Structure 1
């Protein structure tokens, strides 16, 4: 079969069928097909680039990794589901309570909330004995952001990205049985690179969330007001702010790629391809984060993912 972008996308879609019917190993109660399907679909809808990368993982890793990413999506999109801050905090509290329920001693599936992601996460945590701390970081970091609504400095933003993105990589490495300091180090840099890139992507959405994602120290340094960001005003000064964040993201990406990690970790770090792709597109736009071309999905990304996976590189 000719390896065109269309055929690669078709291949990845066919792979999803395998994911939907996968069973979590050594568990007495098999995963419900509808629940796994739900987890896969919300990741596909809200985290498409990571969805594609997850489909290219080895068969044993796909389902549990999709469940972890689905949990992250559910937390991350709390703000998308309501404009009421109190309602958002209530939704976040649901996940706080659910995580506590999952880690209760002698807990059973029947006592976990009847939410597809919650139930699948309980099964994965039961089998793989995932440390609670990294899943807890995903909730805590976003709760703090919902209250603060801004980042004081680039260092604050990097700390947030380590807690909200790197923690996902730490968890998936645990699922894969990769307990390696070099892999953790690479995961930290990659998570920061991805988090910074995500922040740049989210700037045009600032007005919707009434939140300024650009660190305050950069806004002050380049004389950009919060109103300019909220109103999506492109300017040379705004591009200078984006440039500094993009440089930091690229530096973390380079550092991650230079680290020698176990072979199994390479497939887990495959989203590095998408990060690099976005940063290159942003550079072509002269760091104008409001350029409409940045919102379009890359038609060649599935093809690049596929070949990088064949090479076992990221």
Structure 2
């Protein structure tokens, strides 16, 4: 039997629990609808953010469902660019989420006023229940909006800024859900988000090349005398490997810094996706930083067990 399926059978038995705000009363039929909405959120994460899906399954029950809702919202916002090549259409879709989020923080708004979207409705409940910080939710939208306009990164520092807004913000919100108020945990979240964000850029090269988009930083490409055409054609070369090595080294540096920070136990399960980041960077190193190696595009059959092992050891 496929190793991934064994893992899923073990942990999907722990279904996401429904999220109900302390200020929102639900009737029996509403509770059923709520459960299906949570399942919908979990399915979105499973389909489009599989590694974070596996890590979220290993969270305690009290954190699992709100974490799925938050990650589903992040997926919905992140996928806007993938669903359309038209920047104006993408902007309209991002504006929908911006308007929905604005309404969620209107004290007079009720669940009935929220758009009839399962993710939006569940996010409203999570916001009411856990008092999530609006600025971090907005950064998930504005970072994608800015990227939709720019279409490329000028420097590695720009990728770090983008990663802080689009990935670290998720960790800040998850820490809020877990009730973790710790400066060291925030520091680790910042580094982990940057490590994961930079790694995501590396992993997306073969996909973005099909869309005729280059997300590798321009300053690094120029440093190693590489053109965008080299990336779009997936041309492996010594210069390309050197460029990938420098970018991957920055990601690994952030990952090591995050792992060296002592954080509360709850934060360790929230930071479990660090295992997937380390797994990819290790594979990339073994392939001598050939970012176009086909084996890097395949799911790791042992990753679920690495996640489970680190969860047992309370490591990340």
Smaller-chain TM-score bracket:
over 0.9
- Contact conserved, 1:112 with 1:119, CA < 8 A, in 2? yes
Task: Choose the corresponding residue for 1:40, options 39, 42, 48.
Answer: 42
Tell me the alpha carbon deviations over residues 190-225 of structure 1, each in whole angstroms, 9 at most, x when there is no partner.
Answer: 000000110000011223333211111101100000
**1:13 corresponds to which residue?**
12
Please identify runs of 4+ aligned residues in structure 1 that moved more than 6 A. Answer: none
Task: Choose the corresponding residue for 2:25, options 22, 25, 28.
Answer: 28
User: Structure 2 matches for 1:182-261, cutoff 5 A?
Assistant: 182-261=184-263
Q: CA RMSD in A?
A: 1.3
Which whole-Å CA distance do the structure 2 matches of 1:292 and 1:189 have between them? Answer: 28
- Contact conserved, 1:274 with 1:301, CA < 8 A, in 2? yes
After TM superposition, the structure 1 stretch with the greater mean CA deviation from structure 2, 255-264 or 31-40, is 31-40
**1:282 corresponds to which residue?**
284
TM-score (norm 1): 0.95
**1:160 corresponds to which residue?**
162
After TM superposition, the structure 1 stretch with the greater mean CA deviation from structure 2, 171-180 or 202-211, is 202-211
Query: Equivalent residue of 2:300, what SS?
Result: coil
**Deviation at 1:28?**
2.0
- Contact conserved, 2:21 with 2:126, CA < 8 A, in 1? no
**Deviation at 1:58?**
0.8
Aligned pair count?
308
Structure 1 gaps, min length 5:
none
Which whole-Å CA distance do the structure 1 matches of 2:72 and 2:41 have between them? Answer: 5
Which whole-Å CA distance do the structure 2 matches of 1:116 and 1:211 have between them? Answer: 31
Aligned: 1:142 with 2:141? no
Task: Choose the corresponding residue for 1:173, options 153, 172, 175.
Answer: 175
- Contact conserved, 1:161 with 1:196, CA < 8 A, in 2? yes
**Deviation at 1:101?**
1.2
Which whole-Å CA distance do the structure 1 matches of 2:101 and 2:201 have between them? Answer: 26
TM-score (norm 2): 0.94
**Deviation at 1:25?**
5.6
Cα pair distance change 1:23/1:158, threshold 3 Å:
closer
